Amino acid sequence: MKLTYSYGFIILILLFSCSAEKKIQKKFRMGKYQTVINYYQDELAKQPSNGKANYYVAESFRLSNRIKESEQFYAKAGGAGIDKDSVHLFYSQALRANGKYDEARKQLEDIRIGAADEKMKERASKELDGLNYLAQLAEKENYYRIKNLEAINTPLSEYAPVYLNSELYFTSSRGTGKIYEATGTPFSDLYKASTKGAVVDVNTIATLPETINSPVVNEGTITFSPDGKTMVFGKGNTGRRKGTSDVDLYLSRFRNGAWTEPQLININQPDVWESTPAFSPDGRTLYFSSNRKGGYGGLDLYTAQMDSRGRFGKVRNLGPEINTAGDELFPFISDNGKMYFSSDGQPGYGMLDIFVVNRANGKNKVDNLGQPVNSTGDDFGIFLFRPDRGFFTSNRAEGKGDDDIYTFVNEDPNLKVVNYTLQGVTLTPKKGDSTREILPNTKVTLLDGKGDAMQDFVTGNDGKFLFRVYENENYTLIGETDGYLVKRQPYTTIGKSVPVETLKDLLTEITLDTILVLERLEKNKVFVLNNIYFELDKSDIRADAAVELDKLVELLKDNPEIKIEMSSHTDSIASHAYNIQLSQRRAESTVNYLIRKGIAPEKLVAKGYGEESPIARNTNPDGSDNPDGRQRNRRTEFKILEIGPVQRKPEEAFDEDKYFKNDGKDN
């Protein structure tokens, strides 16, 4: 009986141990990392070399943004079911975060040589390149001067500063003292204080109203529209700035002297982390970070366009130039159009570093801001309130504790900022005469040199549109509105930039002008195609004619609702019958060219008119030959025969109840 009781007691202990293990694994999946750390550290006190316990402590520190503290645990992590290459990778990141670059290099070399997964090998190679990049970065002269904003910082966390209308907004965990299980630190709230540049009046520090802050929910990074009347911020239940799946973006509007109840906006996705929002300077693009499917790694940067009625849409990943297999977050767009962001996947000192995207000749180059802005700690949340100065956040060792807000000044003597703006007007030919009139309510899209959409603009009653552009680049403007043919028009800034060395001011604004003319969509309307010439007595498509016909291909693809007649005309040389045959062959030749370029045959009709419809005299009044007139008569035209249902959707009326969502699900 005594022996049986002993066996039963042992079984009960094992069952209790398994049950506790399942519970703590559930806590890990829920993101309650501090609870997991406390549990496994008790286990490690008994078994310091327990590979599984070390692994979960290391992972919990990493996932709760404390990777420096994970180093000693990754060193002993391992066991059945634990991927050793991932352990090597995260161990190298912990070593790098602690400034141990040679040891980090060894871990990465082990992956590069021994890993079975090619993607893991590729990532290790990139991380090794990043370590080599640090040596090059150290050789560059750096003009940044930084200072801890001691008046506002506490031993707890202050981060993500935003400057608006002489007020500094920031996030802090200095509040109620209620602790969240993920990090073991208090929940964070949004605060503001009056400030003159970087001189903060500490007596004015106050939390935002209770409609914004919740006592046991974390409020995070905040951004404002340029007029200060729309606020977007991150809000969740996790207590962490990154890595969890229940942070979403909320929107509030300033109405009647108060902020409205925050509402989830429509770009959130269920069970996806969405945060660190930032408006573009014109307020028409929202940048944010997300771990939604289809990205390049952990957290990626995305944009969402806001239309004239305040709706967000067209969510777009910023691509592999910006995003990596690591985390990218805390975007900021400065007044000169440069994007700043933080990343632990781009080459840096360890943990999050701050980077700037420099654009030249249509290409983006990501540059690390270097020391002293960056350190081996987390450096993030930059905001420029002038081209040469601003704020950022860091949890470097010399701070007051956890995350601190710092100020910086860029003392580069050659710093000159030039902003290029393209302003234009949408017009249409006025009926009855040769003048033009304003065409309102037109959507204008700016494409870059690769044909990718950069910005959209819907014109008002004045027909005006406005885009930020960059020097030495080629663009395409596309205009479209109901009842008009879509217009595609090239524009270039090549040769229009100002020499920076001639500028005296820190900031220079350059405005460029253009017009965009859209033609009415009317049945039987005739358009003459310029430069569609044929060799004498031939119907072959010449190279110069092909260039012009390619423009027609674009027009027909942009306007799929129209059916056209391609007509060809001749001068009066040769007989009437011959000219009819020749012009028919030429018309059919152009139609066949369009079909080969992807235009549906049923959308095209070929018609030769011979010499029947001249637009100029073939001979002069004295009977002599008129070569210029004959050339004008040897023309190609297209006429709109039919107009089918318009396939472009008109702008819908703004339905605020439909736009906002209150149930946590997509509309």
| Structural domains for the chain | 36-139 (1.25.40.10), 148-415 (2.120.10.30), 417-517 (2.60.40.10), 526-643 (3.30.1330.60)
If 0-12 CB within 10 Å is exposed, 13-18 middle and 19+ buried, where does residue 148 land? Answer: middle
Considering only residues 651 and 592, tell me which one the structure prediction assigns the higher pLDDT: 592
Q: How far apart are CA 40 and CA 46, in angstroms?
A: 10
Q: How far apart are CA 605 and CA 591, in angstroms?
A: 7
Write down the pLDDT at residue 6.
53
pLDDT digits (tens, 9 = 90+) for 383-393: 999 999 999 99
Question: pTM (2 decimals)?
Answer: 0.77
Torsion sign across C-alpha atoms 142, 144, 145, 151: negative
Q: What angle do CA 115, 120, 121 make, to 5 degrees?
A: 65
pLDDT digits (tens, 9 = 90+) for 218-259: 898 999 999 999 999 999 854 444 434 579 999 999 999 999
pLDDT digits (tens, 9 = 90+) for 432-491: 788 999 999 999 999 999 888 888 888 999 999 999 999 999 999 999 999 999 999 999
Q: How far apart are CA 42 and CA 50, in angstroms?
A: 11
φ, ψ at 161 (rounded to 5°): -70, 145
**Helices and strands (DSSP H and E) totals, the chain:** 11, 34
Q: What percent of the chain has pLDDT over 90?
A: 56
**Residue 465 corresponds to which amino acid?**
F
| pLDDT of 629 higher than 90 | no
Write down the pLDDT at residue 656.
39
| pLDDT of 401 higher than 60 | yes
Confidence band, pLDDT 50/70/90 cuts, at residue 363 = confident
Helix axis angle, 101-114 to 118-139, nearest 10°: 150
Write down the pLDDT at residue 399.
87
Write down the pLDDT at residue 15.
44
Confidence band, pLDDT 50/70/90 cuts, at residue 13 = very low
Longest dimension (CA), the chain: 135
Listed in sequence order, the residues at least 6 apart from 434 whose beta carbon sits closer than 8 Å to its beta carbon are none
Write down the pLDDT at residue 361.
76
Closest CA to 480 of 434, 410, 428: 428
**b/e sequence 409-418, b meaning 16+ C-beta within 10 Å:** ebeeeeebbb
